[in-house]
Chains A and B, each alone.
Chain A
Amino acid sequence: MTTDDYIPVQGQSVTCKDVMHHICESLGEDLNSERCAAIKSHLDKCDGCQNYFKTVEITIEYYRKYNFELPPDVHERLMSFLRLEE
């Protein structure tokens, strides 16, 4: 499937490009609109878009899991900078 392919769903035409835009916009958002229903239906049938959806989720997950621990010396300098005592 190419980004120019159209799949008519519930009277709406949706391209892969539309789906990609919308997925990115609506991850974590309410997906109950008619437009979203059409997009979900497209997603069920399009491997490319399913893959895209998964990889956007993986991208977010990568950044969520990549964390930085506060080193003890940085904590101590913060306390000293703020003139606070534990």
Chain B
Amino acid sequence: MDEIKLIELAKAGDRKALTELVIQHEQTIYNFSYKLCRDRQKAENIMQESFFSMVKSLHQFDGNSKLSTWLYRIVANHCLMLAKKEKHRYFASIDDDESLFDEKYIADWKRLPDKVTENNELKNILDNAIQKLSPEYRMIFLLRDVEGLSTEETAKVTELSVPAVKSRLHRARAFLRKEITEAFK
């Protein structure tokens, strides 16, 4: 059954259709939540709260965007709320950091590993680097580059302008690249 039909049925109170919708999206949402917070327990909590919000407000879903885009927005809101509670955490300040583009970061990456999945050292480096980014930057990088949303969809999910998304995206990319370069020096 296609998603539009499932949404219609779920809105009308069909629990089986609702279950199917959750099952269709749970892997994506868990993966995205985990990538955002890099913590299993937090990822599970964010996923549960996000689906709970979806179930509560599915009747408001107008179908103008994909359900997944709508879900990303719910996850993003939950993640930002969680980040506000963790004010003590330090994030790198990259708004005006021109050093991200310095020549010294033009390094040779030939000796870097190809495969992420089998390399725990690289995984740690990737985890550490992305956790230094503030949630606002992290979210844009993940939505646009990792989840593959368009710039316009990313702007919609994050409620930012397209130029603001582009600006944050290019700084996030440069920052992560710089961090990986430094870690492998």
On whether the beta carbons of B106 and A51 are closer than 8 Å, the reply is yes
On whether the beta carbons of A65 and B116 are closer than 8 Å, the reply is yes
Residue of A nearest to B147 (CB): A64
How many B residues touch the partner, as a band? Answer: 35 or more
Q: Collect the chain B residues with CB atoms within 8 Å of residue A55's CB.
A: 107, 109, 177, 180-181
B residues whose Cβ falls under 8 Å from a Cβ of A = 15, 18-19, 22-23, 26-27, 30-31, 34-35, 43-44, 47-48, 51-52, 55, 101-103, 105-109, 112, 115-117, 122-123, 126, 130, 141-142, 144-146, 151, 166-167, 169-171, 173-174, 176-177, 180-181
On whether the beta carbons of B117 and A48 are closer than 8 Å, the reply is no
Residue from A24, A54, A74 whose CB has the most chain B CB atoms within 10 Å: A24
By DSSP majority rule, is chain A's interface helix, strand, loop, or mixed?
helix
On whether the beta carbons of B116 and A62 are closer than 8 Å, the reply is yes
The stretch among A6-14, A31-39, A76-84 that forms the contact with chain B is A76-84
Q: Collect the chain B residues with CB atoms within 8 Å of residue A79's CB.
A: 19, 22
By DSSP majority rule, is chain B's interface helix, strand, loop, or mixed?
helix
Residue from B55, B142, B177 whose CB has the most chain A CB atoms within 10 Å: B177
Q: Collect the chain A residues with CB atoms within 8 Å of residue B23's CB.
A: 86
Question: Contacts A3-B102, A66-B117 hold; do A81 and B180 have CB atoms under 8 A apart?
Answer: no
Q: Collect the chain B residues with CB atoms within 8 Å of residue A64's CB.
A: 145-146
How many A residues touch the partner, as a band? Answer: 35 or more
Residue from A27, A58, A62 whose CB has the most chain B CB atoms within 10 Å: A62
On whether the beta carbons of B15 and A17 are closer than 8 Å, the reply is no
In the assembled complex, A21 has its CB within 8 A of some CB on chain B: yes
On whether the beta carbons of B30 and A68 are closer than 8 Å, the reply is yes
Instruction: Give min CB distance, B123 to chain A, whole Å.
Output: 6
